[in-house]
Amino acid sequence: MRTVLRLSLLLTLATGCATTQGAASAPPEPEKKFSMRTYYMAFLRRGPAWTKERTPEAIEAGKGHMANIERLAKCGKLVIAGPFDVPADAPSDALAGIFIFDVATREEAVALTAQDPAVKAGRFTIEVLPWYGPTGLTYEGHIRPEPGLSCTP
């Protein structure tokens, strides 16, 4: 009985050692280095033509605004866009939303923002500032740029 017990123990140890030796541990993943870079953030404020009423002009400008956001995202220029939760009693020139651009210059960000139908209609005014943020800024579910799509201002 002792012989069987010793043999079982020896087999168990041998199997465990063989398994441990056979499984080479994977090298640790290299640590991703955090880096930052310049983006351009456009602040959209309520403009002189802004109203809270849903007039045909406001609806049309809103549709054009959303189509422009999608177009700029598809060509890889617009990283993130979104509105602020502005209270109903906010001032007439309250901040309304932001665009964060991945472009080379402030001038390009200004030109791209100025093309927006809601900006052209006077519903928004713009201010563009450089913003230093994390490299590779993105979000889950972002629109992937379409190769060859032109967004030249």
pLDDT per residue as tens digits for the range 25-57:
777 777 778 888 899 999 999 999 988 889 999
Record the pTM: 0.72
pLDDT on residue 51: 87
List C-alpha distances in Å: 118 to 36, 48, 67. 31, 11, 11
Helix, strand, coil shares of the chain, percent, nearest 5, are 35, 25, 40
Say what the alpha-carbon torsion angle 60, 110, 42, 137 is, to the nearest 10 degrees: 110
Domains of the chain: 36-134 (3.30.70.1060)
Residue 90 has pLDDT above 80, yes or no: yes
Residue 20 has pLDDT above 60, yes or no: no
Q: Which residue has the tokens 């009693």?
A: 89
